[in-house]
A and B are shown apart, each in its own frame.
Chain A
Amino acid sequence: MINSRILPLVRKEFIHIRRDPRSLIILFLMPLLMMFIFGYAINMDLKHIRIAICDLNKTPASRDLIETLRMSPYFNIVTYYNSPSKTESLFKNRLVRAAIIIPSSFDKTHVQSRFASIGVITDGTDANSATLVQNYLYGLFMEKSLSSATNGTPVSVKSRILYNPDMTSSHFIVPGLVALLLIMIGALLTSATITREKETGTMEQILVSPIRPYEVIVGKAIPYLVLSFSIAIFILFFGHIWFKVPMLGAWGYLLIFCIFYVFTALAIGLLISTVVNTQQVAMMMSLVMTMLPSVMLSGFIFPVASMPKPLQVVSQIIPATHFLKIIRGIMLKGNGPMEIWPSVAAMSAVGLFFILLAVKRFKLKLK
C-alpha cells in the first residue's frame, strides 16, 4: 500500500539524485579512495623491518643466528657494523628500526648455559611498531633457542593466530571502513537534503500541504536508503574481491544488518537536520558526529577494552561499535545470527533510539 502522497516525494528525490552526477561520483569514488588509503598506505603489517647487526662474537654460533635473521621474511638486514657506539647514529639517521648486538661472549654462554643474552635495541618513537618489532624478534629467538636446546629434535613452538593468520591488516581495516563510511554517508545525505529544502523554502511549501510528517520522513528515507545500500554493496564487494577480505558468513545476514545500520545513519542525519538551518553546518555536524566517534571509540582501530571506563560506556551507544562486531564477525569468523545476536540487539536498540528521537524532534519542529 504505497501512499499516493509518498510516491511523488520518492520520485522527486530520485530525480534530484539523478540530476547531481557529481555528487554521485564522489559518493562512490570517495569510499574507494579511502579504502585504498586505509588498505595500503596505513599498513600495520610489518615486513622487511630494517635492522642492523653488530656481531662482536664472529663465531659459527653467532653467524648461525644471523643467518636465521637473514632468512626471515620479516626482517631486512640493512647493515652490519662493528662498534656498538655507532648504534645511536643508525637510529638518528633512521636507517634501521632495531639493532641487534651479539656480545663477544655469545658462543660460550650460548653453549654452556641455557641463557645467552643478546642486545636488542628498538626505535621507540613509533610506539606501536616498536612493540611489534620487539615481539617478532623475541619470538624468533625463542623458537631458535628451543630448537637448539634439545639436541636433534627441535621443538618448535608455533603460535597460530586465528582468523586472519597473516594478520593482514586490510582484512581488519576494510570491514571497519565499511562501518565508518556507511554511517558517514547516510547521515551526510539525509541532513544535507533536508536542510537544503529548509534553506530554499520548499520544505515550507511541502508542509503547507495536507502531507503528514511521517510521509515526509518516509519519502526522504526510501531513496537515500536505496542509495546508501547501493554504496554499501559496492564497498563490500570491492573489499571482498580486490582486498580479498574473506566472507566466511552469509551475505544475506550481512546485507540485512547493513540495512538496519543504514537506517540508523539516516536517522542521525534527520536528527541533525532538526538542529541546524544551513546545509554547510549540517554537513560539518554530520561529519563530526559520525566520523570522530566511529573512528576513535568504536573499536575501529583502537580496542574498546583498552579505553577508560567512561569511554567504554560511551562507545556502547555508538552504532558503529556494534556493527563492527557484526560485520567482522560475519566476514572474518563466519558468524551466524546465533553468535552475534547480542550485537544485533544492541545495534537495534541504539538504532531505534536514534530513529525515535529524530522523528520526535522532527514533529516537534513543525509547530
Chain B
Amino acid sequence: MPPDVEKSNHDPKNGLAVTVRNLTRRFGDFVAVENISFDVKKGEIFGFLGANGAGKTTTIRMLTGLLEPSSGEGQVGGFDINRDYEKIKTRIGYMSQKFSLYDDLKVGENLYFFGGIYGLKRDAIKTRMEELDRSLNLLEMENKKTLSLPLGFKQRLALACAILHKPPILFLDEPTGGVDPIARRYFWDLISTLAGQGTTVFVTTHYMDEAEYCHRLSIMYKGQIVEIDSPSAIKKKYNSISIEDIFIRLVDR
C-alpha cells in the first residue's frame, strides 16, 4: 500500500530527493506503470523490487527524463519531470542494465568521454579518477580495452562513469545483473558509502537478497506498487524473514 500523500515542497531542501504522484505510462493499450506514488528521502537507498516487466525500468526512465509520463507528476532534485526534465539531467547520474560502455574504447577513454559530456574538463576528470581509484580500482586498467574486462570490472566502470560529475541523486537500473556474488556485495558496499556521503540512490533490482541493503523498499508488480516500507517493517508486517517469500506471496494473489 502506498504511503499517505505527503505535503511535498518544491524546495529540495525539505529532505526529499524524489517525489512521485500518480505516475502513469501507457504504451498503446498496455499500461506499463499505473498510478504510482512515492517519496525518496535525501541520502536514502531506495529500492525498487520487482520481476522483469513489472515497470521498474519504465519508472526510472520517466524520472531521468528519458521518457515522457502519460500522466502524473513528479520531481527529481527539485525539478519537475514534466516541465524541467532537461534541468534534472544536470543533477543525476544514471547506470543502465546494459552498463552502456563503449567496448572498443579503453577504460580511460570511456571515463574521459562520459565526464566530458557532463562538461568536465580533462584534468578535472583525471583528478576525479584518482579520487575514485581507492574504492573503484580503475586506474590500473586505464589502458585496457573495455571489451576484455570481466563483468565485475565493467560494472564498477559504469558506476564511475555515472558519478564523475558528483551527482546528488543516482539512478541505478539493475546494476548487478549477471555479476558474481562477491562483486555484487562489493558493489553494494560502494553504494552504501555513497549514500553515507549524502548521495541519494534509487536502485531497481530483481535480486530479492539485495532488498536488505536498502533503507526503504517498494515492491512493484504489473505496473503497480503493492508494498512500500523499510525491509524490516515489511518483514514484520508479513511475518516472514524472507523478502523473497513475501514477494512471491504478494504477486501470487
Contact = CB atoms under 8 A, between A and B. Distances in A.
A94 to B, nearest CB: 53
Interface stretch (B8-16, B94-102, B188-196, B202-210): B94-102
B121 A201 contact: no
A202 interface: yes
Interface string A188-213: 00000000000011101111111100
Interface string A1-32: 00011011101100110011000000000000
Contacts of B227: none
Contacts of A15: 104-105, 109
Contacts of B66: 204, 207-208
A354 to B, nearest CB: 27
Interface residues of A, number: 23
Interface residues of A, dominant DSSP: helix
B90 A202 contact: no
B64 interface: yes
Given A12-B105, A12-B113, A210 B100 contact: no
Given A4-B121, A5-B117, A201-B100, A210 B89 contact: yes
Given A205-B94, A208-B94, A8 B104 contact: no
A204 B118 contact: no
A92 interface: no
A210 B119 contact: yes
A200 B119 contact: no
Interface in B165-218: none
Nearest to B90: A210
Contacts of A4: 116, 119, 121
B117 A211 contact: yes
A136 to B, nearest CB: 57
Most central of B86, B101, B113, B121 by chain A CB within 10 Å: B113
B117 A209 contact: yes
Nearest to A3: B119
A367 interface: yes
B142 interface: no
Most central of A11, A207, A208 by chain B CB within 10 Å: A208
Nearest to A5: B117
Contact of B113 (A11, A19, A208): A11
A201 B98 contact: yes
22 contacts: A4-B116, A4-B121, A5-B118, A8-B113, A8-B115, A8-B116, A9-B113, A11-B112, A12-B105, A12-B109, A15-B109, A200-B103, A201-B96, A201-B99, A204-B66, A205-B96, A205-B114, A206-B117, A208-B65, A208-B89, A209-B117, A210-B118
- Nearest 6 CB-CB pairs, A to B? A8-B116, A201-B98, A205-B100, A201-B100, A208-B94, A210-B89
